[in-house]
Amino acid sequence: MNFIITYDIQNDKRRKKISDELEAFGIRVNYSVFECELNKTKLKRLRLKLEEIIDKKEDSLRFYHICQSCIPKSFEICDKADIFESQELFI
């Protein structure tokens, strides 16, 4: 499952913790925007970790589920890899 995750965190310390967690699960595409490919287990684990950090009264953390049929319709105007581009890894 593909997600766009965005945040608006008021506190510098919490914002750093949130961004560190998100970097472990996805790719930063903007200062407060990440693209993440997550299975159900990873999504649950990430959500639990982020819920421990966030202050729900002050902060905003949004998950946008991107369906497979929507990915080809997405685009970016810059010289970077396509959104959720499939990559072959060789070990």
Residue written as token pair 């950090």: 53
| Domain assignment present for 53 | yes
Dump pLDDT digits (tens) for 37-73. 999 999 999 999 999 999 999 999 999 988 777 666 6
The pTM (predicted TM-score) of the whole model is: 0.77
**How far is the C-alpha of 14 from the C-alpha of 21, rounded, in Å?**
11
8 annotated to bind ligand = yes
Dump pLDDT digits (tens) for 2-45. 899 999 998 999 999 999 999 999 989 888 999 999 999 999 99
CATH of the domain at 41: 3.30.70.240
Q: How many domains does the chain have?
A: 1
| Domain assignment present for 40 | yes
Residue-range definition of the domain harbouring residue 49: 2-73
| Domain assignment present for 66 | yes
| Domain assignment present for 10 | yes
Q: In what order do the strands lie in the sheet with 60-66?
A: 26-30, 33-37, 2-8, 60-66
